[in-house]
Protein backbone atom coordinates (compact mmCIF):
# COMPACT_ATOMS: atom_id res chain seq x y z
CA UNK A 1 0.00 0.00 0.00
CA UNK A 2 1.45 3.41 -0.91
CA UNK A 3 1.28 6.06 1.76
CA UNK A 4 -0.66 9.18 0.82
CA UNK A 5 1.51 12.09 2.06
CA UNK A 6 -1.52 14.40 2.39
CA UNK A 7 -3.30 11.88 4.57
CA UNK A 8 -0.32 11.69 6.92
CA UNK A 9 -0.12 15.48 7.07
CA UNK A 10 -3.85 15.69 7.84
CA UNK A 11 -3.64 13.06 10.58
CA UNK A 12 -0.79 14.95 12.25
CA UNK A 13 -2.62 18.25 11.89
CA UNK A 14 -5.79 16.90 13.44
CA UNK A 15 -3.79 15.44 16.36
CA UNK A 16 -2.03 18.78 16.95
CA UNK A 17 -5.27 20.76 16.69
CA UNK A 18 -6.61 18.68 19.56
CA UNK A 19 -3.51 19.58 21.56
CA UNK A 20 -3.63 23.30 20.72
CA UNK A 21 -6.85 24.47 19.10
CA UNK A 22 -5.77 28.02 18.19
CA UNK A 23 -5.25 29.54 14.76
CA UNK A 24 -1.49 30.01 14.31
CA UNK A 25 0.19 32.87 12.49
CA UNK A 26 3.87 32.06 12.42
CA UNK A 27 6.21 29.10 12.58
CA UNK A 28 9.72 29.27 14.00
CA UNK A 29 12.55 26.77 13.55
CA UNK A 30 15.36 26.97 16.10
CA UNK A 31 18.75 25.90 14.84
CA UNK A 32 21.63 24.18 16.66
CA UNK A 33 22.40 25.89 19.97
CA UNK A 34 19.46 28.28 19.56
CA UNK A 35 16.87 26.33 21.56
CA UNK A 36 16.98 28.82 24.46
CA UNK A 37 14.91 31.18 22.39
CA UNK A 38 11.93 29.04 23.38
CA UNK A 39 12.02 30.87 26.74
CA UNK A 40 11.01 34.08 24.96
CA UNK A 41 7.72 32.47 24.01
CA UNK A 42 4.93 32.43 26.55
CA UNK A 43 4.48 28.68 26.26
CA UNK A 44 0.94 27.30 26.30
CA UNK A 45 1.56 23.75 25.13
CA UNK A 46 4.57 21.53 24.40
CA UNK A 47 4.47 18.26 22.53
CA UNK A 48 7.50 15.95 22.27
CA UNK A 49 8.22 14.84 18.70
CA UNK A 50 8.02 11.24 19.83
CA UNK A 51 4.35 11.75 20.77
CA UNK A 52 3.30 13.23 17.42
CA UNK A 53 1.96 10.82 14.79
CA UNK A 54 4.20 10.57 11.69
CA UNK A 55 6.85 12.92 13.12
CA UNK A 56 10.47 11.81 12.77
CA UNK A 57 12.51 11.99 16.00
CA UNK A 58 15.53 14.32 16.15
CA UNK A 59 18.83 12.66 17.04
CA UNK A 60 21.44 15.43 17.23
CA UNK A 61 22.90 16.66 20.50
CA UNK A 62 21.76 20.23 21.17
CA UNK A 63 18.27 19.55 19.80
CA UNK A 64 15.61 18.85 22.36
CA UNK A 65 12.95 17.67 19.94
CA UNK A 66 9.65 19.27 20.83
CA UNK A 67 6.99 21.41 19.29
CA UNK A 68 6.21 24.51 21.32
CA UNK A 69 2.90 26.35 21.03
CA UNK A 70 2.34 29.75 22.57
CA UNK A 71 2.24 33.51 22.22
CA UNK A 72 5.11 35.70 21.08
CA UNK A 73 4.67 39.45 20.66
CA UNK A 74 0.89 38.99 20.74
CA UNK A 75 0.87 36.35 17.95
CA UNK A 76 0.09 32.66 18.20
CA UNK A 77 3.18 30.76 17.11
CA UNK A 78 4.52 27.24 16.84
CA UNK A 79 8.24 26.67 17.30
CA UNK A 80 10.35 23.64 16.53
CA UNK A 81 13.05 23.15 19.16
CA UNK A 82 15.15 20.78 17.08
CA UNK A 83 14.77 20.17 13.37
CA UNK A 84 15.30 17.18 11.08
CA UNK A 85 18.41 17.10 8.93
CA UNK A 86 19.04 15.17 5.75
CA UNK A 87 22.38 13.94 7.17
CA UNK A 88 20.55 12.13 9.96
CA UNK A 89 19.17 9.78 7.34
CA UNK A 90 15.71 11.29 6.92
CA UNK A 91 14.39 11.66 3.40
CA UNK A 92 13.97 15.25 2.17
CA UNK A 93 10.20 14.70 2.51
CA UNK A 94 10.65 13.76 6.18
CA UNK A 95 12.86 16.80 6.74
CA UNK A 96 10.09 19.13 5.52
CA UNK A 97 7.12 17.26 6.97
CA UNK A 98 6.75 19.61 9.99
CA UNK A 99 6.72 22.68 7.72
CA UNK A 100 3.86 21.22 5.71
CA UNK A 101 2.01 20.48 8.94
CA UNK A 102 2.56 24.08 10.09
CA UNK A 103 0.97 25.35 6.89
CA UNK A 104 -2.19 23.37 7.57
CA UNK A 105 -2.15 24.66 11.15
CA UNK A 106 -2.55 28.12 9.61
CA UNK A 107 0.87 29.79 9.59
CA UNK A 108 1.50 32.41 6.91
CA UNK A 109 5.07 33.33 7.87
CA UNK A 110 8.04 31.10 8.71
CA UNK A 111 11.14 32.14 10.64
CA UNK A 112 14.14 29.89 10.14
CA UNK A 113 17.44 29.98 12.01
CA UNK A 114 20.63 27.99 11.80
CA UNK A 115 24.27 27.74 12.74
CA UNK A 116 26.48 28.17 9.68
CA UNK A 117 30.12 28.34 8.68
CA UNK A 118 31.33 31.69 7.35
CA UNK A 119 33.12 31.78 3.99
CA UNK A 120 32.91 35.53 3.48
CA UNK A 121 36.27 36.82 4.80
CA UNK A 122 34.65 39.93 6.29
CA UNK A 123 32.56 37.80 8.66
CA UNK A 124 33.64 36.62 12.10
CA UNK A 125 32.45 34.03 14.60
CA UNK A 126 29.40 35.29 16.50
CA UNK A 127 28.10 37.47 13.64
CA UNK A 128 24.53 37.05 12.58
CA UNK A 129 23.52 37.15 8.95
CA UNK A 130 20.17 37.73 7.28
CA UNK A 131 19.83 35.15 4.50
CA UNK A 132 18.95 37.10 1.37
CA UNK A 133 19.17 34.14 -1.03
CA UNK A 134 20.42 30.57 -1.21
CA UNK A 135 22.02 27.90 -3.38
CA UNK A 136 20.44 24.46 -3.05
CA UNK A 137 22.27 22.52 -5.78
CA UNK A 138 24.24 20.29 -3.38
CA UNK A 139 21.19 18.95 -1.54
CA UNK A 140 18.20 17.07 -2.96
CA UNK A 141 15.17 19.22 -3.69
CA UNK A 142 12.33 18.13 -1.38
CA UNK A 143 9.78 18.70 -4.17
CA UNK A 144 11.25 15.92 -6.33
CA UNK A 145 8.55 13.32 -6.89
CA UNK A 146 4.86 13.58 -7.59
CA UNK A 147 3.72 17.14 -6.96
CA UNK A 148 1.17 17.55 -4.16
CA UNK A 149 -1.20 19.84 -6.07
CA UNK A 150 -3.13 20.75 -2.93
CA UNK A 151 0.00 22.32 -1.50
CA UNK A 152 1.42 24.17 -4.48
CA UNK A 153 2.47 24.21 -8.14
CA UNK A 154 4.81 21.78 -9.96
CA UNK A 155 7.33 24.52 -10.80
CA UNK A 156 7.39 27.08 -7.99
CA UNK A 157 8.90 30.50 -8.51
CA UNK A 158 11.98 31.12 -6.34
CA UNK A 159 12.77 34.74 -7.25
CA UNK A 160 12.15 35.95 -3.69
CA UNK A 161 12.67 32.95 -1.40
CA UNK A 162 13.25 35.27 1.58
CA UNK A 163 10.81 38.15 1.72
CA UNK A 164 12.27 41.59 1.08
CA UNK A 165 9.95 43.42 3.47
CA UNK A 166 10.96 41.11 6.34
CA UNK A 167 14.64 41.59 5.44
CA UNK A 168 14.13 45.36 5.50
CA UNK A 169 12.39 45.16 8.87
CA UNK A 170 15.26 43.05 10.27
CA UNK A 171 17.78 45.71 9.17
CA UNK A 172 15.74 48.35 11.02
CA UNK A 173 15.50 46.24 14.17
CA UNK A 174 19.28 45.67 14.22
CA UNK A 175 19.85 49.39 13.77
CA UNK A 176 17.40 50.33 16.54
CA UNK A 177 19.11 47.90 18.90
CA UNK A 178 22.59 49.02 17.76
CA UNK A 179 23.94 45.68 16.64
CA UNK A 180 25.72 44.86 13.45
CA UNK A 181 24.01 42.49 11.06
CA UNK A 182 25.43 40.88 7.93
CA UNK A 183 23.53 39.85 4.82
CA UNK A 184 24.32 37.17 2.32
CA UNK A 185 23.85 33.92 0.49
CA UNK A 186 23.48 30.56 2.27
CA UNK A 187 24.86 27.54 0.46
CA UNK A 188 23.31 24.26 1.59
CA UNK A 189 25.36 21.08 1.82
CA UNK A 190 24.39 17.66 3.12
CA UNK A 191 27.02 17.31 5.85
CA UNK A 192 27.62 15.66 8.24
CA UNK A 193 31.31 16.37 7.57
CA UNK A 194 32.34 19.99 7.88
CA UNK A 195 33.94 21.15 4.65
CA UNK A 196 37.52 20.72 3.55
CA UNK A 197 39.57 23.86 2.91
CA UNK A 198 39.09 23.35 -0.82
CA UNK A 199 35.32 23.04 -0.38
CA UNK A 200 35.06 26.23 1.71
CA UNK A 201 37.03 28.05 -1.00
CA UNK A 202 34.79 26.64 -3.72
CA UNK A 203 31.64 27.68 -1.85
CA UNK A 204 32.97 31.22 -1.58
CA UNK A 205 33.92 31.24 -5.26
CA UNK A 206 30.37 30.15 -6.10
CA UNK A 207 28.93 33.23 -4.45
CA UNK A 208 28.25 31.87 -0.96
CA UNK A 209 28.73 33.86 2.22
CA UNK A 210 27.91 31.01 4.60
CA UNK A 211 27.51 27.25 4.38
CA UNK A 212 25.22 25.02 6.39
CA UNK A 213 23.38 21.70 6.59
CA UNK A 214 19.75 22.82 6.95
CA UNK A 215 17.15 25.50 6.17
CA UNK A 216 17.04 25.38 2.38
CA UNK A 217 14.76 22.36 2.03
CA UNK A 218 12.39 23.95 4.55
CA UNK A 219 12.50 27.24 2.67
CA UNK A 220 11.70 25.50 -0.62
CA UNK A 221 8.55 23.76 0.64
CA UNK A 222 7.44 26.93 2.41
CA UNK A 223 7.72 28.83 -0.87
CA UNK A 224 5.91 26.01 -2.65
CA UNK A 225 2.98 26.52 -0.27
CA UNK A 226 3.01 30.32 -0.44
CA UNK A 227 4.40 30.82 3.09
CA UNK A 228 6.47 33.99 3.56
CA UNK A 229 9.98 33.15 4.78
CA UNK A 230 12.59 34.99 6.83
CA UNK A 231 15.84 33.23 7.73
CA UNK A 232 19.04 34.01 9.54
CA UNK A 233 22.35 32.34 10.28
CA UNK A 234 24.65 32.58 13.26
CA UNK A 235 28.26 32.35 12.10
CA UNK A 236 29.67 29.67 14.38
CA UNK A 237 33.00 29.02 12.66
CA UNK A 238 35.05 30.47 9.84
CA UNK A 239 35.67 28.01 7.07
CA UNK A 240 38.14 30.12 5.18
CA UNK A 241 40.66 30.80 7.90
CA UNK A 242 44.21 30.05 6.84
CA UNK A 243 45.45 28.77 10.18
CA UNK A 244 44.61 25.31 11.56
CA UNK A 245 41.08 24.64 10.50
CA UNK A 246 39.58 22.17 12.95
CA UNK A 247 35.86 22.71 13.57
CA UNK A 248 33.91 20.89 16.25
CA UNK A 249 30.19 20.56 16.95
CA UNK A 250 30.82 21.86 20.51
CA UNK A 251 32.37 25.07 19.17
CA UNK A 252 29.37 25.51 16.84
CA UNK A 253 26.87 25.09 19.71
CA UNK A 254 28.79 27.49 21.98
CA UNK A 255 29.00 30.25 19.35
CA UNK A 256 25.30 29.88 18.54
CA UNK A 257 24.38 30.14 22.23
CA UNK A 258 26.34 33.36 22.58
CA UNK A 259 24.62 34.98 19.59
CA UNK A 260 21.14 33.82 20.64
CA UNK A 261 20.09 37.11 22.39
CA UNK A 262 20.37 38.95 19.06
CA UNK A 263 18.27 36.32 17.33
CA UNK A 264 15.70 36.67 20.13
CA UNK A 265 15.39 40.44 19.57
CA UNK A 266 15.02 39.99 15.82
CA UNK A 267 12.45 37.21 15.95
CA UNK A 268 10.40 38.93 18.67
CA UNK A 269 10.18 42.17 16.76
CA UNK A 270 9.62 40.56 13.38
CA UNK A 271 6.84 38.33 14.70
CA UNK A 272 5.27 41.42 16.27
CA UNK A 273 5.33 43.13 12.87
CA UNK A 274 3.57 40.47 10.80
Q: Are strands 109-118 and 228-238 parallel, antiparallel or unpaired?
A: parallel
Residue 211 · residue 239 · CB < 8 Å: yes
**Which helix (H) or strand (E) element contains residue 244?**
none
Q: What are phi and psi of 134, to 5 degrees?
A: -145, 165
Measured from the CB atom, the residue of 157 and 244 that comes closer to ligand HPA is 244
Q: How far is the CB of 59 from ligand HPA (least distance, A)?
A: 16
**Which helix (H) or strand (E) element contains residue 218?**
helix 216-224
Measured from the CB atom, the residue of 37 and 86 that comes closer to ligand HPA is 86
Residue nearest to ligand HPA (CB): 117
Contact positions toward ligand HPA, by CB under 6 A?
115-117, 189, 191, 194-195, 211-213, 236-237, 239, 247, 252
Q: Number of H helices and number of E strands within the chain? A: 6, 9
Residue 32 · residue 114 · CB < 8 Å: yes
Q: How far is the CB of 235 from ligand HPA (least distance, A)?
A: 8
Measured from the CB atom, the residue of 93 and 139 that comes closer to ligand HPA is 139
Measured from the CB atom, the residue of 55 and 194 that comes closer to ligand HPA is 194
Closest listed residue to residue 236, CA positions, set 224, 226, 249, 245: 249
Q: How far is the CB of 139 from ligand HPA (least distance, A)?
A: 11
Coil, helix or strand for 44?
Answer: strand
Closest listed residue to residue 120, CA positions, set 184, 172, 173, 73: 184
Measured from the CB atom, the residue of 92 and 212 that comes closer to ligand HPA is 212
Q: How far is the CB of 222 from ligand HPA (least distance, A)?
A: 20
Residue 58 · residue 84 · CB < 8 Å: yes
Measured from the CB atom, the residue of 25 and 237 that comes closer to ligand HPA is 237
CB atoms under 10 Å from CB of 18, counted, come to 8
Q: How far is the CB of 32 from ligand HPA (least distance, A)?
A: 7
Q: How far is the CB of 186 from ligand HPA (least distance, A)?
A: 10
Amino acid sequence: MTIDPMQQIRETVSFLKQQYPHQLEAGIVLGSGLGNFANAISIEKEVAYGDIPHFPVSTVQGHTGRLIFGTLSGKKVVAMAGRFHFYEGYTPQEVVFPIRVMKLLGIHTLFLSNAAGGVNPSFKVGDIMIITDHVSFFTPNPLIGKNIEELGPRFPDMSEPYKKDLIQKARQVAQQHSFDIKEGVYVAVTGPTFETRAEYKLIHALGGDVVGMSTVQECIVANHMGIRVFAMSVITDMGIREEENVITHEEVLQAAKEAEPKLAILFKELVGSI
